[in-house]
Amino acid sequence: MISDPILVDTGPLVAMLHKADRDHLRCQEQAKEFGGPVYSCWSVVTEAAWLLRNLPNGLERLLDLVAFGDVTLLDLDSGAAHWMNQRRAMYGDLRPQLADLSLLYLAQREGIRHIFTLD
């Protein structure tokens, strides 16, 4: 059981909500190990919503995770853009997306050591 805070990325959110996803069962089982708070951010939710756009009730179920407190969304502050742009340049060879950079920023700002991702 992991009692520390966790940041969740797009891949696991999509996999947990989409039963046909190849990582569905693995992500469902891993999520059972989380005993601490689970956080994410709107850029991750936006990316997940786009990937779930063709799944019946996909968006509804995604938003329910937030509405019912399963996932708490952290806000990005005004310093986030500059920090993320610096990291984007540093790790340009990895082609980080906004959601990835947002989670890295929040991990650093909040002192969160665990990110649940499939990347």
pLDDT at 3: 94
Q: DSSP label at 34?
A: B
Q: What is the pLDDT of residues 66-99, one digit of tens each?
A: 999 999 999 999 999 999 999 999 998 999 999 9
Give 52's pLDDT tier (boundaries 50, 70, 90): very high
- Segments making up each domain of the chain, as ranges: 6-75+111-116
Q: What is the predicted pLDDT for the residue at 1? A: 87
What's the pLDDT band for 110 if we cut at 50, 70, 90? very high
Q: What is the mean pLDDT of residues 59-65?
A: 98
pLDDT tens track for 4-35: 999 999 999 999 999 999 999 999 999 999 99
- The residues, ordered by sequence, that sit 6+ positions from 109 with a Cβ below 8 Å of its Cβ are 77
Rounded to 10 degrees, the C-alpha dihedral 35/8/24/50 comes to: 150
- The two tokens of residue 49 are 């919503």
pLDDT at 2: 86
Which CATH topology does 6-75+111-116 take?
Rossmann fold (3.40.50)
Instruction: For the chain, give the longest Cα–Cα distance.
Output: 39
How much is the pTM?
0.94
User: What pLDDT score does 45 carry?
Assistant: 98
**pLDDT of res. 119:** 83
